[in-house]
Amino acid sequence: MIPELGQLCTTIALCLAVVQTFFPLVGAQLDKPAWMAVARPAAVGQFVFLALGFGFLEASFINNDFSVLVVAATSNSQLPLLYRMAALWGGHEGSLMLWVLLLAVWTIAVTVSSRRLPEALAARIIGVMGFISAGLLLYIISVSNPFLRLSPVPMDGNDLNPLLQDPAMAMHPPILYTGYVGFSVAFAYAIAAMLAGRVDRQWARWVRPWTTAAWMFLTIGIALGSWWAYYELGWGGWWFWDPVENASFMPWLIGTALIHSLAVTEKRDLFKGSTLLLAIGAFSLSLLGTFLVRSGVLVSVHAFASDPARGVFILSLLIIVIGGALSIYAWRAPGLDRNAGFKVISRETFLLVNNILLSTAAGLILLGTLYPLVLDALEAGKISVGKPYFDTVFIIPMLPLVLATGLGMHAAWKSANLSELLRKLRWPAIIALISSITITALAWGTGPVLTYVGVAAGIWLLLSSLRAPVMRLFGKGPRLTASMIGMQLAHAGVGLFVIGVTVTSTFSIETDQSVRLGETVQVADYAFTFKDLQQRQGPNYTALRADVDVTRNGRKIAHLNPEKRIYRVQTMPMTEAGIDAGLGRDLFVALGDDLGNNAWSLRIQYKPMIRFIWFGCLVMALGGLIAIGDRRYRAAVQTESSTVNAGTATRPA
């Protein structure tokens, strides 16, 4: 009964989504206030029924109702409650339910805060979001129904993939999807503005907090996925450039460019064409990512073709949403864009370069991700694309970007004085260079030139980002708004990230050793003693748990418990690494195979500064959070004159 109720609620939500699309969009076009007024109640109704539908599906997971196909496929009665709930988004059908639910949540947020928007703009935004929701709900109900029953009913479920039975991985999809779906708000704003034929600075001010919020979630979601890969895959790597990761990273890059382009639109009424295109691009890539990667078309052509109904539906949806948006763009953007008004050396130029470099990086990653597909379609020869390709094409646009960011942050709008800029920043530059060489050499010894360049670039970005806030602490320099502090903090986060990536990739020590019980091995300055090995029973797995003591100069600094787990249902062995985390370094021990004679293979790693990678991402997200808090986003419609004045040059980006 419960799944059927869920299906009913979801169907009602679809009907309401159609209403939410049709009346507001047509009403705005024909200027019928009564039709436009349908937008808010329809959005609220859609959310309520979707939440009920989602709740009923979640109830089936919690109650172990294995007569429901998706429950039988990804859950199991032995699974702890948290993972039974998370199992909902462990499969394709359930994860799409989560996707539309989050879309409804964003729509409600827009609805609530839309009181101060012009009626027609609010109606169009809610209408566009209703349209996306309607398309997805139709897909869910027609070809990807999570409420289908299974007959005969199995005794127990197939269990959730053990790789996903982890707290970070249970949280990862909701946070990541919140980011993905959040870009739909900027997308809807862009379409609404183009339909109305008006993109102005006030519009940009309205879009900015939404975009930053979505970006913030995406940043945390990606960082969480990377952190999970690091400790759960038992391999010590933190980024693999696999299609699933790329699918989340491309919208992040374009979303980052969008944030910067919006800054120019808000401050200078410029870059409107690129702002609109980036807004469409960020959400299109989210959509493309959700579908193409989840449906498996990039991993295996077979997976896609084996379910042609889904494939045709997905493609039609992409064509209508993305193709439609780009057509409106081709039609309306030429009348909206405006060029000119800034010198070669100005903040505008730096932000333009930023957008080009970020888009280039996203484009090259998209190319690498789709390459197999395109070549296969052409029946051309096969060329392989892997980590080496992505590493190379990513660092080429990113290194100049990191260097230019430090300058760009301090450049004035319209026209900046280059010698003034260089004078202001010579100390950060000099300190970055010297400290990069000395710190690196003192802490880890010598490395290749690129290592020093990377560390210097990171320190440079950190110092140039923190220059203004630190001076402000001493009562010097201009007053800082929340959005300026947020921007500087986010850039400092990028600096930390760059330092972490560079040091980790150069100075990590990775060894695999055969170690007997009681034996001690030395890695870097650390002595690892293999003390004990015991069996342990988990709720749905059996584990072998090792005791490893770590000492440095005779002093005990850590006690690690790496595990090897066998999950009973899928009989899949999993490595649970033992990690002693520290800001300066991680010590990582994973338990390998039994080599006989009481000897085991131990994977022991020393990973300097690896925490900076995720810490940097958190700082970036925190910067976003602070920027959203800026009062001007909540102020009533500002008069144009309040921002165009002599003070513009020192205003935030």
According to CB under 8 A, which residues from 269 to 288 bind another protein? Answer: 273, 277, 280-281, 284
Q: Which is nearer to another protein, 19 or 297 (CB)?
A: 297
Task: State in angstroms the smallest separation of the CB of 229 from another protein.
Answer: 7
Q: Minimum distance between the CB of residue 615 and another protein, rounded to whole angstroms?
A: 23
- Which of 11/575 has CB closer to another protein? 575
Which parts of 463-492 interact with another protein (CB under 8 A)? Answer: none
Q: Does 338 bind another protein (CB under 8 A)?
A: no
Element (H, E) at 589: strand 585-596
Distance CA 213, CA 209 (A): 6
Q: Is 392 in the site for another protein (CB under 8 A)?
A: no
| Of residues 266, 245, 292, 274, the one with CA closest to residue 359 | 274
Q: How far is the CB of 618 from another protein (least distance, A)?
A: 23
Mark 74-103 with x for binding to another protein (rule: CB under 8 A) and - for no binding.
------------------------------
174 torsion bin: left (phi>0), alpha (psi -120 to 50), beta (else): alpha
Q: Where in 399-418 is the site for another protein (CB under 8 A)?
A: none
- Residue 609, sorted as left (phi over 0), alpha (psi -120 to 50) or beta, turns out to be left
- Does position 601 interact with another protein (CB under 8 A)? The reply is yes
Question: CA geometry: angle at 105 spanning 39 and 267, to 5°?
Answer: 80
**Contact between 580 and another protein (CB under 8 A)?**
no
Please work out, in degrees rounded to the nearest 5, the angle formed at the alpha carbon of residue 646 by the alpha carbons of 645 and 651: 85
Rule CB under 8 A: say whether 215 interacts with another protein: no
Cβ atoms of 20 and 42 within 8 Å: the answer is: yes
**Is residue 421 within 8 Å of residue 437, measured between CB atoms?**
no
- Given a contact cutoff of 8 angstroms between Cβ atoms, the answer to whether 75 and 91 are in contact is no
Based on the shown chain and the rule CB under 8 A, indicate whether residue 434 belongs to the binding site for another protein.
no
Are 187 and 282 in contact, with CB atoms under 8 Å apart? yes
Q: Examine residue 48 and tell whether it contacts another protein (CB under 8 A).
A: no
- Judged by CB under 8 A, the stretch of 42-50, 131-139, 197-205, 238-246 that binds another protein is 238-246
Other beta carbons within 10 Å of 331? 10
User: How, if at all, do strands 526-537 and 509-516 pair?
Assistant: unpaired
Distance CA 644, CA 198 (A): 19
Peptide bond into 154 cis (omega under 30): no
Shortest Cβ 262–another protein spacing (Å): 18
Smallest distance, Å, CB 332 to another protein? 9
604: phi then psi, degrees, rounded to nearest 5 = -115, 130
CA 135 – CA 406 distance, rounded (Å): 43
Nearest to another protein of 568, 632 (CB atom): 568
- Judged by CB under 8 A, how many residues of this single chain contact another protein? 68
Supply the minimum distance, in Å, between the C-beta of residue 532 and another protein: 20
Cβ proximity to another protein, 275 vs 488, nearer residue:
275
- Spatial distance between the Cα atoms of 298 and 90, rounded to a whole number of angstroms: 19
Furthest CA-CA distance within the chain: 83
Query: Which of 8, 143, 235, 582 is close enough to bind another protein by CB under 8 A?
Result: 235
Pick the closest to residue 608 from 482, 506, 498 (CA basis): 506
- Regarding 510 and contact with another protein (CB under 8 A), the answer is yes
| Closest approach of another protein to the CB of residue 371, in Å | 8
Of residues 109 and 244, the one with the C-beta less far from another protein: 244
Q: 265: helix, coil or strand?
A: helix
CB closer to another protein, 40 vs 603:
603
User: Rounded to the nearest whole angstrom, what is the least distance from the CB of residue 62 to another protein in the complex?
Assistant: 27
Q: For another protein, which residue of 370, 393, 546, 627 counts as binding (CB under 8 A)?
A: 370
Strands (E), 553-584: 555-560, 563-567, 572-576, 578-580
Both tokens assigned to 551:
């000492």
User: Which amino acid belongs to residue 500?
Assistant: G
CA atoms lying within 13 Å on the CB side of residue 278: 30
Residue 376 within binding range of another protein, rule CB under 8 A: yes
Residues of this chain, 292-331, that bind another protein according to CB under 8 A: 296-297, 299-306, 308, 311-312, 315, 318-319, 322-323, 326-327, 329-330
Which tokens sit at 26?
Answer: 């047509």
Name which position in 512, 525, 532, 640 contacts another protein (CB under 8 A): 512
Q: Comparing C-alpha atoms, which of 620, 605, 629 is closest to residue 216?
A: 620
Residue 575 sits in the site that holds another protein (CB under 8 A): yes
- What are the residues whose beta carbons fall under 8 Å from the beta carbon of 446, sequence distance 6 or more? none
Stretch that binds another protein, among 115-123, 195-203, 404-412, 585-593 (CB under 8 A): 585-593
Query: Which one of residues 166, 242, 519, 549 is an interface residue with another protein (CB under 8 A)?
Result: 242
Per CB under 8 A, does 636 bind another protein?
A: no
Q: Does 380 bind another protein (CB under 8 A)?
A: no
User: Applying CB under 8 A, which of residues 82, 112, 153, 377 lies at the interface with another protein?
Assistant: 377
Measured over the CA atoms of residue 304, residue 374, residue 395 and residue 250, the dihedral's sign is negative
Query: Is position 333 an interface residue for another protein (rule: CB under 8 A)?
Result: yes
Q: By CB under 8 A, tell whether 598 contacts another protein.
A: no
**Interaction of residue 384 with another protein, rule CB under 8 A:** yes
Indicate which single residue of 309, 593, 637, 644 sits in contact with another protein (rule: CB under 8 A). 593
Instruction: Give the nearer residue to another protein in terms of CB position, either 119 or 337.
Output: 337
Residue type, 517: L
Q: In the complex, what is the shortest distance from the CB of residue 300 to another protein, in angstroms, rounded to a whole number? A: 4
CB 186 within 8 A of CB 282: yes
Strand partners, 565: 543, 574
**Residue 564 tokens, joined:** 């090897």
Instruction: Name the site residues for another protein (rule: CB under 8 A).
Output: 163, 229, 233-235, 237, 240-242, 273, 277, 280-281, 284, 296-297, 299-306, 308, 311-312, 315, 318-319, 322-323, 326-327, 329-330, 333-334, 337, 370-377, 379, 381-388, 510-512, 571-573, 575, 590, 592-593, 601, 603
